[in-house]
Chains A and B, each alone.
Chain A
Amino acid sequence: MTSTVPAITARGVTVAYGARVIQRDLNFTVQRGDIFIIMGGSGCGKSSLLRVLMGLTRPAAGSICYGDRDLWGCSPAERNSIMRTTGVMFQSGALWTSRTLAENVALPLERYTNLSPADIQELARLKLALVGLAGFENFYPSEISGGMKKRAGLARALALDPEIVYFDEPSAGLDPVSSARLDELIIQLRDTLGMTVVVVTHELDSIFTIASNSVFLDAQTKTMAATGDPHRLIKNGPEAVVEFLTRGRSRHGEPK
């Protein structure tokens, strides 16, 4: 019944820090089951937009709707309940450092479910196994590598079986192989669990592997240059987008 309503609708969103506008007048929709990429050059405001979408900072103007609920137009309690339908994998994992990996995954479950402690343990073990961290349940975040922290962060993001998962620069700091594995994992999450995925990235390989839709933020004009499937944008998008997607080679001949 709600399948025709987009998962996320952004209308006229302006992202600003005080008087400094980062991006203005952003309009895009994320459909259910999309793998939606927020792309653009360094410093164009991708991560700031992500914080606004996640509900961590209030946009300076415009609205963000999850389904038909307005994230910033509803009560704090309802905003909290919307935020619980999303999971976030932060750039560096952002694990709670005073807790073990299993406790990190278990905390949201303890908070929002009535499961028995034993069930919560099982679930935490399962989520960690899903991201390839079986056996690391009792390790503390400081004892594992950066890539593992990211995966543990993903396990925690999946704790409450969210409808939407956000990834902030998933491939940053990962070697090409781990990065490709993470891309596979993202596609699997969408295909098997039916999640909607929003990814902030500027990695072209990853964009063309996973994307079904995207928005391109332009650092120069401080607004979006285009929205759509990057596979189509590379052929008939605006010049700035084509240049980005072809690694700046569009004017010097065929892209790779």
Chain B
Amino acid sequence: MKTAMQPDFRLSVDNARILVDISGDWRRQTVETHDKGSAQQLIQAAERGFDSYRDAACIEIHADRLDGWDSLLLAACLEIIRKAQARQISVSYAHLPEGMVRMLDMAVAVPPKDQQGTRTAPGFFELIGSKLTACPAIIQNLLEFIGDLAASIGRFLRGKASLSSRDLWNIFRECGADALPIVTLTCILLGLILAFVSSMQLKLFGAEIYIASLVSVSMTRVMGPVLTGIVLAGRTGASFAAVLGSMQVNEEIDALTGFGISPMDFLVLPRVLGMAVMTPLLTLYADIAGIAGGFLVGVLMLGVSPTAYMDNTLEFLKLSYMWIGLLHALVFGFIISMCGCYQGIRCGRNASAVGRATTTAVVSSIVGIIVSTSIITIIFTIIDI
């Protein structure tokens, strides 16, 4: 039995013709195990040939002693043909095995003009320019969405919106009751942390008792709503974007529109309403959980008596703080649900677009939460509440 020869090639020149003679076994498994005869070496040798014989008008590729080939050799030949054509050198590959000739013919064939890909990677400035020119359209889309949502809420208030009550209850449960465990955990821990950290400073003055008011005021006014908002952004906002995004991919939203059912009324409105109702309720619960966390630290670790702790809490806690906290929560509810639904509804029609929509929804809701907290805080500081 004849053993396959190792891949090899030779270049020679004859009367303004460059001859490339390829021999041996050029299948990938063999090529990989030999030093000489890699596809790159073959291409480079041909290029050196072009450079040293500048009067060459023609290159012929022969392979009379070829034992085996696959697409690796084909790719190398194609590259040589391209390089030759770029130098106005004619190529003859008719002496190759018949299968190779046919495949090279297919690869070399020029596609019809309007089917050629003309897209090139944009340059740096083009990229910046295209991002900038896209801005007005993005703002317009966003305003359109907010306008549609407002119209939809208007229809709901007049009792004309076509949302299904079953969906609404499901969403109440999903973003309300189902979020209770995680809100409990995070807010008790936040109360603990606040109490511990502040006790380090307050101990210096022997004023541990003020931990109670510090924890309760900061929880109800800002920390409760902000932490609830961030938990809901990661939990519910992401799920809104992912659900609506996959509905877009699956043409389910088109199917709704096709029946004349407005996706705004049917999909977005219940989610926005659900979050607008549930975020404040969860925040109330989060406030209590946070105060309980502080209570545990105060009573069990710092030896404050339970009644003194509660007295101090109630002495400094004003009802208005709770209302401010709930206002935060209401705003967060709108921000989270609108970011999630907007990204989901405008999602592209492929799997990676859903991932992008989800990420953008969470990031923009968290940024929105922080920014709106600052704005509300500044406003209430100015009007001195």
Chain A residues within CB distance 8 Å of chain B: 51, 54-56, 79-81, 83-84, 86-88, 90-92, 94-97, 107-108, 110-112, 153, 156, 160, 220
Return 22 A-B CB contacts under 8 Å, by A number: A54-B258, A55-B257, A79-B260, A80-B260, A81-B260, A83-B257, A83-B258, A84-B260, A86-B258, A88-B258, A94-B252, A96-B247, A96-B252, A97-B247, A107-B164, A107-B259, A107-B261, A108-B261, A153-B255, A160-B259, A220-B112, A220-B114
B60 on interface, CB distance cutoff 8 Å: no
Which A residue sits closest to B260, measured CB to CB? A80
Contact of A88 among B112, B250, B255, B261 (CB under 8 A): B255
CB neighbours (8 Å) of B47 from chain A are none
Are B250 and A83 in touch, CB under 8 angstroms? no
Q: Please, how many angstroms separate the alpha-carbon atoms of A81 and B256 in the complex?
A: 13
CB neighbours (8 Å) of A153 from chain B are 255
Are B250 and A84 in touch, CB under 8 angstroms? no
Are A56 and B260 in touch, CB under 8 angstroms? no
Contact of B250 among A54, A92, A107, A160 (CB under 8 A): A92
Chain B residues within CB distance 8 Å of chain A: 112, 114, 162, 164, 246-247, 250-252, 254-261
Contact of A92 among B162, B251, B257, B258 (CB under 8 A): B251
Q: State how many angstroms separate the Cβ of A214 from the closest Cβ of chain B.
A: 23
Q: State how many angstroms separate the Cβ of B309 from the closest Cβ of chain A.
A: 47
CB neighbours (8 Å) of A96 from chain B are 247, 252, 255-256
Contact of B255 among A81, A94, A110, A160 (CB under 8 A): A94
Are A90 and B255 in touch, CB under 8 angstroms? yes
Q: Please, how many angstroms separate the alpha-carbon atoms of A101 and B247 in the complex?
A: 16
CB neighbours (8 Å) of B252 from chain A are 94-97
Inter-chain pairs besides A111-B259, A112-B260, 15 sampled, C-beta below 8 Å: A56-B257, A83-B257, A83-B259, A88-B254, A88-B255, A92-B251, A94-B252, A94-B255, A96-B247, A96-B256, A110-B164, A111-B162, A111-B261, A160-B259, A220-B112
Q: Please, how many angstroms separate the alpha-carbon atoms of A220 and B247 in the complex?
A: 33
Q: State how many angstroms separate the Cβ of B260 from the closest Cβ of chain A.
A: 4
Are B259 and A56 in touch, CB under 8 angstroms? no
CB neighbours (8 Å) of A110 from chain B are 164
Q: Please, how many angstroms separate the alpha-carbon atoms of A79 and B251 in the complex?
A: 20
Are B251 and A108 in touch, CB under 8 angstroms? no
CB neighbours (8 Å) of A95 from chain B are 252, 255
Are B112 and A94 in touch, CB under 8 angstroms? no
CB neighbours (8 Å) of A220 from chain B are 112, 114
Q: Please, how many angstroms separate the alpha-carbon atoms of A153 and B251 in the complex?
A: 11
Q: Please, how many angstroms separate the alpha-carbon atoms of A97 and B247 in the complex?
A: 8
- A56 and B254 in contact, given A84-B259, A220-B112 (Cβ under 8 angstroms): yes
Q: State how many angstroms separate the Cβ of A234 from the closest Cβ of chain B.
A: 24
Q: State how many angstroms separate the Cβ of A250 from the closest Cβ of chain B.
A: 19
CB neighbours (8 Å) of B256 from chain A are 96
Are B251 and A90 in touch, CB under 8 angstroms? yes
Which B residue sits closest to A88, measured CB to CB? B258
| Closest CB pairs A-B (n = 6) | A80-B260, A94-B251, A94-B255, A83-B260, A84-B260, A90-B251
CB neighbours (8 Å) of A84 from chain B are 259-260
CB neighbours (8 Å) of A94 from chain B are 250-252, 254-255
Q: Please, how many angstroms separate the alpha-carbon atoms of A83 and B254 in the complex?
A: 12
CB neighbours (8 Å) of B257 from chain A are 55-56, 83
Which A residue sits closest to B255, measured CB to CB? A94
Q: Please, how many angstroms separate the alpha-carbon atoms of A116 and B259 in the complex?
A: 20
Q: Please, how many angstroms separate the alpha-carbon atoms of A79 and B261 in the complex?
A: 11
Q: State how many angstroms separate the Cβ of A223 from the closest Cβ of chain B.
A: 13
CB neighbours (8 Å) of A86 from chain B are 258
Q: Please, how many angstroms separate the alpha-carbon atoms of A80 and B259 in the complex?
A: 8
Q: Please, how many angstroms separate the alpha-carbon atoms of A246 and B164 in the complex?
A: 50
CB neighbours (8 Å) of B254 from chain A are 51, 56, 88, 90, 94
Q: Please, how many angstroms separate the alpha-carbon atoms of A111 and B259 in the complex?
A: 9
Q: Please, how many angstroms separate the alpha-carbon atoms of A82 and B123 in the complex?
A: 47
Q: Please, how many angstroms separate the alpha-carbon atoms of A160 and B260 in the complex?
A: 12
Q: Please, how many angstroms separate the alpha-carbon atoms of A111 and B114 in the complex?
A: 47
Q: State how many angstroms separate the Cβ of B95 from the closest Cβ of chain A.
A: 29
Q: Please, how many angstroms separate the alpha-carbon atoms of A156 and B256 in the complex?
A: 11
Are A56 and B258 in touch, CB under 8 angstroms? yes
Are B258 and A97 in touch, CB under 8 angstroms? no
Q: State how many angstroms separate the Cβ of B137 from the closest Cβ of chain A.
A: 10
Q: State how many angstroms separate the Cβ of A149 from the closest Cβ of chain B.
A: 10
CB neighbours (8 Å) of A88 from chain B are 254-255, 258
Which A residue sits closest to B114, measured CB to CB? A220
CB neighbours (8 Å) of A55 from chain B are 257-258
Q: State how many angstroms separate the Cβ of A45 from the closest Cβ of chain B.
A: 13
Q: Please, how many angstroms separate the alpha-carbon atoms of A49 and B344 in the complex?
A: 25
Q: Please, how many angstroms separate the alpha-carbon atoms of A185 and B246 in the complex?
A: 30
Q: State how many angstroms separate the Cβ of B363 from the closest Cβ of chain A.
A: 26
Q: Please, how many angstroms separate the alpha-carbon atoms of A84 and B251 in the complex?
A: 17
Q: Please, how many angstroms separate the alpha-carbon atoms of A84 and B257 in the complex?
A: 10
Q: Please, how many angstroms separate the alpha-carbon atoms of A242 and B300 in the complex?
A: 89
Q: Please, how many angstroms separate the alpha-carbon atoms of A96 and B255 in the complex?
A: 8
Which B residue sits closest to A168, measured CB to CB? B251
Q: Which of B162, B246, B260 has the most CB atoms of chain A within a 10 A radius of its CB?
A: B260
CB neighbours (8 Å) of A112 from chain B are 259-260
Q: Please, how many angstroms separate the alpha-carbon atoms of A7 and B250 in the complex?
A: 29
Which B residue sits closest to A221, measured CB to CB? B114
Which A residue sits closest to B137, measured CB to CB? A18
